[in-house]
């Protein structure tokens, strides 16, 4: 049976070769045959002259084949971008360069600033006699609170760790202190909630937020890479229910702009900026929805971003100057600047009229000076401040 199949197969092969030769010769003969004669209708239609081909200009754009890779998107260096372009000021005014410089100068380190003031594990152990305005930083565990505070204070006062739940107490730090004086603003590093947090920490934190009279604002840190978690929504609900002022801050913004931090050294693309704007809109709408549900105030009308690991310019990290300015506004120290951002010194303004009066008094006559010296107020002051004469203070040796 096998021998018969082999012979049949061997007999079919020459037939296949013959068929292949026949069809290949027919195709070549058809292609090489002369053109068919035109139809009768074609003789009545004059032949159109060939259209001249337009010469292609050497600089004319040529279409690229689809298999080539797309050109890289243009990027802009961080140093060439405005300092506040990654923030979202949808209800408040954006600070100018003079205001940002004033905030950096206010937070400049010195011998008396920054300093660690106190640490407390319970609300009843916090110092109640303090009167300085306070702002606190609240967020999930391992969101970057301690690293952000170290960048704000330009020091390593807060203990940082890659493991969540390392901050176990409320730590207070003073800013703007002088020799023999108290700190002007107090920054608080709160224990994190969520994974790594504990229930008793949450109770003490809520006691502080509700009962602390010196509290001016709460900076709520939300991770932009992972988005708003259910526990973040619970905290926003509590803040809205109790009517506490808070502001959203997005740390580690480099994870939103690029996949790896080193890519930002070459610049930021338009797609990265668009992702940042979408994130701001998402957080703003989510917080407003929660506030409307619980009939509470929404967050402050600006969402800030920061990165404590990457510098925008030498010595200036991303978003730190704008966050410093927000802290000054919360504490009430932004009133010392005019519209252009210049510092107003009230001592010179008050002392100027007094000098003018003294200069005018020098040109007056002697009679006017005598009349002004006879006023009741000035005479009384001279009598009280007059020292006793030397004769009255001495006692003669005979009287002794």
Q: Tell me: the pLDDT tens digits for 72-119?
A: 678 899 999 999 999 999 999 999 999 999 999 999 998 888 998 888
d(CA 57, CA 70): 24
- Mean pLDDT over 210-221 rounds to 93
Lowest-confidence segment of 64-68, 123-127, 204-208, 302-306 by average pLDDT:
64-68
Domain span holding position 228: 76-336
Domain count, the chain: 1
Assess whether pLDDT exceeds 60 at residue 19: no
DSSP per-residue codes, 115-167: EEEEEESSGGGS-SS--S-EEEEEEBTTSSHHHHHHHHHTS--S---SSTT--
What pLDDT, on the 0 to 100 scale, is given for residue 65? 54
- Cβ 176 vs Cβ 111: under 8 Å: no
- Cβ 192 vs Cβ 220: under 8 Å: no
- Cβ 216 vs Cβ 235: under 8 Å: no
Helix pair 145-153, 320-331: axis angle to 10 deg: 80
Domain of residue 292, CATH code = 3.40.50.300
Closest CA to 214 of 186, 242, 173, 243: 186
| Comparison of pLDDT for 51 and 180, the residue scoring more | 180
CA 263 to mean position of chain CA atoms: 19
- Mean pLDDT over 335-339 rounds to 65
Beta partners for 134? 186, 215
What pLDDT, on the 0 to 100 scale, is given for residue 127? 79
d(CA 125, CA 71): 62
First and final C-alpha spacing in the chain? 162
3-state SS, residue 34: coil
| Comparison of pLDDT for 218 and 381, the residue scoring more | 218
What pLDDT, on the 0 to 100 scale, is given for residue 385? 45
- Cβ 102 vs Cβ 317: under 8 Å: no
What pLDDT, on the 0 to 100 scale, is given for residue 194? 74
pLDDT digits (tens, 9 = 90+) for 349-379: 444 554 444 444 545 445 444 454 444 444 4
pLDDT band at 391 (very low <50, low <70, confident <90, very high): very low
290 domain-assigned: yes
115 domain-assigned: yes
| Comparison of pLDDT for 181 and 42, the residue scoring more | 181
Q: Which of 127-136, 251-260, 345-354 has the highest mean pLDDT?
A: 251-260
Closest CA to 86 of 305, 320, 324: 305
pLDDT digits (tens, 9 = 90+) for 24-41: 554 454 455 444 444 444
361 domain-assigned: no
What pLDDT, on the 0 to 100 scale, is given for residue 84? 94
400 domain-assigned: no
Helix pair 366-373, 376-385: axis angle to 10 deg: 70
332 domain-assigned: yes
314 domain-assigned: yes
CA 225 to mean position of chain CA atoms: 14
Rounded to the nearest 5°, which phi and psi values hold at 92?
A: -105, 170
pLDDT band at 329 (very low <50, low <70, confident <90, very high): very high
What pLDDT, on the 0 to 100 scale, is given for residue 40? 42
Left, alpha or beta for 208 (phi > 0: left; psi -120 to 50: alpha)? alpha
91 domain-assigned: yes
pLDDT digits (tens, 9 = 90+) for 256-295: 999 888 888 889 999 999 999 999 999 999 999 999 998 8
d(CA 214, CA 198): 25
Percent of the chain scoring above 90 in pLDDT: 36
Closest CA to 270 of 75, 72, 86, 71: 75
105 domain-assigned: yes
Q: What Å distances lie between residue 196 and 171, 192, 316, CA to CA?
A: 18, 8, 31
Assess whether pLDDT exceeds 60 at residue 7: no
Please report which residue ranges of the chain form alpha helices under DSSP H: 2-32, 40-44, 97-106, 145-153, 199-211, 230-242, 254-257, 270-293, 320-331, 346-362, 366-373, 376-385, 390-393
Closest CA to 302 of 115, 106, 84: 84
| Comparison of pLDDT for 182 and 279, the residue scoring more | 279
């Amino acid at each position: 049976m096998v021998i018969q199949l082999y012979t049949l197969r061997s007999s079919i092969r020459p037939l296949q070769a013959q068929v292949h030769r026949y069809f290949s010769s027919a195709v070549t003969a058809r292609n090489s045959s002369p053109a068919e004669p035109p139809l009768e209708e074609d003789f009545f239609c004059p032949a159109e002259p060939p259209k001249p081909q337009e010469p292609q200009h050497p600089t004319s754009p040529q279409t690229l084949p689809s298999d080539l890779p797309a050109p890289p998107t243009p990027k802009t260096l961080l140093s060439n971008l405005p300092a506040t372009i990654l923030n979202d000021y949808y209800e408040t005014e954006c600070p100018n360069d003079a205001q940002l410089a004033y905030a950096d100068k206010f937070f400049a380190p010195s011998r008396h600033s920054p300093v660690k003031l106190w640490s407390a594990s319970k609300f009843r152990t916090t110092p109640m006699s303090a009167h300085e305005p306070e702002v606190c930083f609240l967020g999930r565990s391992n969101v970057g609170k301690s690293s952000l505070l170290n960048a704000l204070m330009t020091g390593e006062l807060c203990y940082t760790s890659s493991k969540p739940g390392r901050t176990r107490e409320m730590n207070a730090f003073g800013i703007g202190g002088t020799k023999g004086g108290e700190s002007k603003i107090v920054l608080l590093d709160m224990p994190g909630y969520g994974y790594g947090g504990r229930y008793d920490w949450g109770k003490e934190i809520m006691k502080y937020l509700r009962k602390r009279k010196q509290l001016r604002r709460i900076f709520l840190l939300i991770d932009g890479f992972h988005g708003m978690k259910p526990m973040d929504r619970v905290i926003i609900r509590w803040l809205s229910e109790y009517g506490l002022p808070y502001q959203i801050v997005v740390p580690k913004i480099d994870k939103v702009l690029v996949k790896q931090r080193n890519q930002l050294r070459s610049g930021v693309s338009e797609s990265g900026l668009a992702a940042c704007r979408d994130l701001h809109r998402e957080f703003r709408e989510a917080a407003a929805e929660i506030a409307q549900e619980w009939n509470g105030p929404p967050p402050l009308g600006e969402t800030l971003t920061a990165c404590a690991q990457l510098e925008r310019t030498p010595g200036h990290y991303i978003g730190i100057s704008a966050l410093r300015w927000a802290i000054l506004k919360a504490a009430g120290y932004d009133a010392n600047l005019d519209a252009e951002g210049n510092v107003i010194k009230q001592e010179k303004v008050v002392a100027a009229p007094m000098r003018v009066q003294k200069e005018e008094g020098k040109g007056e006559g002697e009679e006017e000076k005598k009349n002004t010296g006879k006023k009741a107020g000035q005479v009384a002051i001279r009598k009280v401040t007059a020292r006793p004469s030397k004769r009255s203070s001495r006692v003669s040796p005979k009287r002794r």
